[in-house]
Amino acid sequence: MGLRAYIIRRILLIIPTLIGVTLLIFAVIQLFSPVDRVSLYVRSAQELKEASSVDELIAKYHLNDPIVYQYYYWITQLLQGNLGISKAANNVPVLEAITSSLPATIELVLYSAPITILLGIQLGVISAVHRDKIVDHATRFLSIVGWSLPTFWLGIVLISIFYGGLGWLPPRRLDIGLENSVIRSSQFINYSGLYTIDSLLNGRFDIFLESLRHLILPVITLTTIQIALLIRIMRSSMLETLGKGYVTTARAKGLSSKEVINKHAKRNALIPAVTLSGILIAGMLTGVVITETIFDFKGIGYYAAHAATQLDIPGVLGFALFTGIVFTIANLIVDILYAYIDPRIRLG
């Protein structure tokens, strides 16, 4: 099977997976009464106010119909982008609440993911290649310490030292005054919602540097723990690969150590690391609740936590749907990378 055919087949397999995700969420919805489910269907708080009674909305959205019809009408609303209204976001539509929170999380991932993946994989390779030497011991020690640190503890320690004590690296995406006077002004064009990118596009290098300053602590918090895990996985995979027969044969043929590591061992050892990287990035994109809460970084994780504490059913279920979609797409990308790294996968 060629790579193109493999990719098409994997994309087609997404359809039943997404249907399964919607069925699970719909099953959870059925745990609530029709009265509680109304907020999952109405498009605005105004529509809720204008209805003469809740029974009118229940009839309008078929909430007492047989379950098959309910699922059909719910999917119809879903495909139109209607996930209900979110009281945790001042009664705006859930889709709007999610899309407005997403840029903050994407910006965090934009700087955290490359550092995590590149540094984690490279340190894992170096540790395996220099097994039982000083570099290996140091890397393993750092990975064990990093993986043992609780996220909330590390975040609190960093913000206490670098903001509370030294006043160098503040929380939030930007200072409130600067955000209100610049980002939300008519002169500043928000192209993407990512402050570091939009500031450059607007020619505001000062805002770019200030945004980077606010990103340092949450990025350090995220990458410290996740790099540690990736190092351990990559080191184990690399050690296993270096013991394979084809690596021994390559060495026997007189290939340099660099060629053996980069062309033969490293590529085959990447598969477990690629799997973990996909999961880590999907986890970041669906919100790093603790990190975003500690640093008052109002991303999708912050919104989900706020929705849960407010018992905002549409907000929580909308976030669950978003999470399911992100992980499904992440698994697709990982599968495609598998096939690219190791052709035997698509041939099998």
Q: Taking the chain, what is the end-to-end CA distance rounded to the nearest angstrom?
A: 8
Asked if 222 and 288 count as a contact pair (C-beta separation under 8 A), the reply is yes
Domain locations along the chain: 3-87, 92-347
Measured distance CA(242)–CA(124) in Å, rounded: 13
135-156 per-position pLDDT tens digit: 988 998 888 888 888 888 888 9
How high is the pLDDT of residue 49?
Answer: 74
The sign one gets for the Cα dihedral 292, 298, 304, 306 is positive
What fold, for 92-347?
MetI-like fold (1.10.3720)
Residue 178: C-alpha distances to residues 156, 159, 175, 194, 211 (Å):
24, 20, 5, 15, 10
Banded pLDDT at 1 (limits 50, 70, 90): low
User: For all residues of the chain together, what is the average pLDDT?
Assistant: 86
70-94 per-position pLDDT tens digit: 999 899 988 888 888 888 888 888 9
Measured distance CA(218)–CA(2) in Å, rounded: 42
321-338 per-position pLDDT tens digit: 999 999 898 888 888 887
Would you say residue 274 has pLDDT above 90?
no
How high is the pLDDT of residue 105?
Answer: 92
